[in-house]
Amino acid sequence: RHRVKVATLSERMELSAAEFKHLAVMRLNVGDRVDVFDGSGEAGEAELIHLDTFSAALRLLSRQDSAAEYPQPVTLAIALLKGDKLSDVVRAGTELGVSTFQLLRTRYADVPDIGDSKLTRLRRVAEEAAKQSQRAVVPGVLAPLPLSALSAAGQCFYAHPGSPGKLLEQVTWTSALTLISGPEGGFAPEDLAQLSRLGATPITLGPRILRAETAPLALLGALAASGV
Ligand code: SAM
């Protein structure tokens, strides 16, 4: 069934210009039912009650608890990557349940920074992927921070080849979770010192070296495959 993003769930919901365009493309008619979500965790079922050439409105029929979220928010802190690799990570990471993507600047970064237009594009990718995977939460994509400015409440892990720790043996789901994944060149000694000051635990992804865009998905895939 069609999924429509609304500003807030309420009895009557007027659609934004972008959603109205989307609805027109779907060729819905008054009386049709759609799933609605607000992007921050509220979801439900609604009926199209008004549609003309310029506007549309929905009536909320019922609210749903979102079963699609992890028991605690999961932040993926990911080093900046070349080309369009971050789009792939954001798309798949959204399907795999990330609540927030925090972009990171690290010493051996593949690219020094990203522009506003690319950030906007990544946010659009997250919104589309959230709809596809029937999540009520659209993950935020936060502008890059230097690793030294990262704060991580709750449990925090970083992937680093050769580490003794294993993610699933340590995740307790009793507090928020932050997973950190490095750039193609890996973490520099200064980054590793920073991660240790942050209290992050190093973990392995096995004896093979994964590409920088594969490693975050292996971390998230482990969580997804644990069935939580
Ligand atoms: N030569 C680099 C190094 O030794 O760190 C390789 C970096 S790897 C291409 C890119 C990132 O993916 C790493 O910084 C790490 O976060 C993650 N990664 C890749 N393979 C991994 C593995 N087997 N175990 C843990 N992390 C891994």
For the chain, report the end-to-end CA distance as a whole number of angstroms: 25
Superfamily of domain 3-64: Hypothetical PUA domain-like; domain 1 (2.40.240.20)
Lining residues, ligand 1, CB within 6 Å: 159-161, 181-182, 184, 186-187, 204-206, 208-212, 215
Superfamily of domain 74-225: SPOUT methyltransferase, trefoil knot domain (3.40.1280.10)
ipTM, 2 decimals? 0.99
Domain residue extents for the chain: 3-64, 74-225
Query: How many of the other CB atoms lie within 10 Å of CB of 140?
Result: 15
User: In what order do the strands lie in the sheet containing 56-64?
Assistant: 3-5, 33-37, 43-51, 56-64, 12-14
CB 76 within 8 A of CB 182: no
For ligand 1, the distance from its centroid to the CA atom of residue 30, given in whole angstroms, is 52
Out of 127-131, 192-196, 203-207, 216-220, pick the least confident: 127-131
- What pTM was estimated for this model as a whole? 0.82
Tell me, what's the pLDDT at 67? 67
Tell me, what's the pLDDT at 214? 98
Please tell me what DSSP assigns to residue 39. Answer: B
d(CA 9, CA 55): 18
Fold match between 3-64 and 74-225?
no
